[in-house]
Amino acid sequence: MGAYDSVIEALATAAREALVREIDADEAWAADPVWREAFAAVPRHLFVPYYYVGVRGGYERRWGESPDPEARERWVRGAYADTPLATRLRDGELLSSSSQPSLMARMLAALGVEDGDRVLEVGAGTGYNAALLAHRLGDDDLVTTVDLDPEITESARQHLAAAGHRPAVVTGDGARGVPERAPFDRIIATCGLSTVPRAWLAQCRPGARILTPLATGLLALTVHGREDAEGRFLPRAAFFVPLRGAGRTEAPAVSLSGLPGRAREQEPFHFLLDLTRGALDPAEAHALWEREGCPDRERFGVTVGADHARAWLDDPDGPYAWPLP
């Protein structure tokens, strides 16, 4: 290792320690502090050899192999910022990213991973999340990560190997799961969905937990059988690159024009609109929103059965329930 490489490694170590302290302050892993050691150990910069930051008029590429020493230092410091990093663009469209670390910590803590669990990650991204899981479980073979894009899976595989991990990296449609690696005790998705793929339930053991983004929220489901699951949303908003493949549902834009300003400004109201899309129009959703006292995300849940998937407010058997797409 050259002298300048030693400088970069020292910067990475200091930046990683600062990131862990920042997540500590945010109490992101309060539900399961064991994740602190994983974030302290896994080098995020190995998973983002380059990334893009927004600048006026487009994006600036930061690259770990830049010939400019100052640019390399900006790259390594940015790799440990508590922000999402755009890692793959195509014709201006964001295809893949590394999620905000504090959000990753919240999701992993909420997943409730236990020693010996077999975990499926849907959305391989850079491979960083799979590395955190592999470090936590202490056995790479317990972790499977899947992505539709072979370029993404190949780069994730390379990043994982550079960090000393070799979980199963599968190229395929995440909505179909990975049946050859089932059964799973935990499934975590790092891409946006509009419904819960039933293939996931069939690949889970009874009592398994699924954590998935849905309608700008994070849904935590408990699996009761091969076709049944139920759970509620976590309090925090979450925005992810949409799943690509058979499980993706294109959603038409919703116009909020004509609604009172307070509804337009309340982000949880947008969550309600997304969750009830196709079942309620904006005016109906606004009336419900006002009537129920501007409900937060944790008052909503989802039930998945053999022939239905529905969202609900407060009570799965109550008066407010809507079919998911």
- The catalytic residue positions are 96
Neighbours of 60 (CB within 10 A): 13
216: left (phi > 0), else alpha (psi -120 to 50), else beta?
Answer: left
**Tokens for 86?**
């755009």
Query: Which residue, 305, 249, 248, 299, is CA-closest to 272?
Result: 299
Residue type, 125: G
**Whole-angstrom distance, CA of residue 154 vs CA of residue 197:** 25
Residue type, 243: L
Contact of 247 with 175, CB cutoff 8 Å: yes
User: What DSSP letter does each residue of 113-177 carry, written as one string?
Assistant: --TT--EEEE--TTSHHHHHHHHHHT-GGGEEEEES-HHHHHHHHHHHHHTT---EEEES-GGG-
Query: Which residue, 23, 19, 158, is CA-closest to 77?
Result: 19
Residue type, 268: P
Q: Which residues pair with residue 186 across a beta bridge?
A: 119, 209
Query: Which residue, 311, 98, 97, 317, is CA-closest to 196?
Result: 311
94 secondary structure, DSSP code: E
Contact of 245 with 175, CB cutoff 8 Å: yes
**Whole-angstrom distance, CA of residue 27 vs CA of residue 24:** 5
The answer to whether the Cα torsion of 309, 205, 165, 150 is positive or negative is negative
Q: Residue written as tokens 């905000």?
A: 100
